[in-house]
Structure 1
């Protein structure tokens, strides 16, 4: 698990640093995640300076955040009564929205993936493809395959495929 801190310095500049890179053994239950985060905050001496925490939306992390919020609430150090303490990760929310949109185009996406795999799996096919691309004076040399779990990767595959 990577713990990253964001803060505003005395010059009002937004700063960011990796605070800790820790192995959390499986299964990663909420209590283990809570202990890991709290230990990191204590080591850095910032356990009473936390305004908000952003994590992806999983039950184990939600449990860890609840435990942290309860712990910090005891010292009455949470701003706005802790209403802003847990913020969903914007990147994950965006990823979920886009993945949901991709589910609407699942057939098209699969056809493009199959086409990319077909063209890239044999050197002969790839050489023929490159030759045709060169003859048509198109930019690029080959089709890009996506990583199914990353929407920006699928978008990249689509963008590349559209060129060809």
Structure 2
């Protein structure tokens, strides 16, 4: 039980099988727990033990003393040990976040003092993260004591533009997931075996598609990979139709209207993709160029809202 990685994997396995008592026993024997371990326990144990969204967001207090859930067709009685595990997980997870935020604040303080810019700092750009929020709170308290913030720190924390853009696109992609799912399943089906890949290559030759790029699967949680998947798949749309004729087991081909919708989605995502590449640059400042990109995105969103094709 000295390997944190192995123990975390065991807790994950037991939780997904519904064996919460086993997960509790393993967790009790852990000599130390890192952020990954607590993330795994919070993600696997809390929902299975009956923690709802409100509990996950705030606290586990006030939970019922006993309940019953079903996991993998196994009826699990939530015992006192399991309730204790849920409470301990959330308590320690919250403590880990707080300590991480305080450690980050301490490191940044040291850097600011070393570089002698602690009285010259106007703002800091971060994404949405509980650890970052705690870190910023600590930094603001420290800088306010030195009277070193403009407008009492009102504009100190600036949200990452690329992260905000990612959240916007993720919400939008969810609304049009039906078409994307069909294309994703089509590519999965083709790439599942060498024989199907050969049949698809034959279909490509039959319809004389000249694209040299290979079909690629996306990572559903990363919309930029979804854009790249669509970018290639659209060039092979005629080949998918021919593939359906050559493989009688293939039933995922998008319809003509769905391909049209996919084209519109792709063209819209390209605006977001190009903007993300611009504002995510690492070798030059981007604070002076993101506004233009966001204006173009706003115009594209307005165009999509007024379109009858989506």
Deviation at 1:76, TM superposition (A): 1.3
In 1, Cα distance between equivalents of 2:212 and 2:191: 14
The structure in which a higher percent of residues are strand is: 1
Deviation at 1:77, TM superposition (A): 1.5
- Does the alignment pair 1:87 with 2:155? no
Higher Cα Rg, which structure:
2
**Residue from 153, 157, 161 that aligns with 2:229:** 157
Residues 130 and 142, structure 1, Cα contact 8 Å, conserved in 2:
no
* Structure 1: gaps (5+ residues): 1-24
**Residue from 135, 138, 147 that aligns with 2:210:** 138
Deviations 1:26-82 (A, max 9, x none): 244322222233233334333332221111112221111111111111111112332
Name the counterpart of 1:50: 121
Greater relative CO (CA pairs within 8 A, separation 6+): 1
- Does the alignment pair 1:128 with 2:172? no
In 2, Cα distance between equivalents of 1:151 and 1:160: 15
- The 3-state SS of whatever aligns with 2:125 is strand
Deviation at 1:130, TM superposition (A): 2.6
Name the counterpart of 1:110: 181
Residues 118 and 148, structure 2, Cα contact 8 Å, conserved in 1:
no
CA RMSD of aligned residues (A): 2.0
Change (3 A) 1:143 1:81: same
What's the TM-score once normalised by structure 2's chain length?
0.42
- The 3-state SS of whatever aligns with 1:84 is coil
Residues 129 and 142, structure 1, Cα contact 8 Å, conserved in 2:
no
In 1, Cα distance between equivalents of 2:204 and 2:111: 53
- The 3-state SS of whatever aligns with 2:128 is coil
In 1, Cα distance between equivalents of 2:166 and 2:209: 35
What's the TM-score once normalised by structure 1's chain length?
0.74
Give the total of aligned pairs: 140
The structure in which a higher percent of residues are helix is: 2
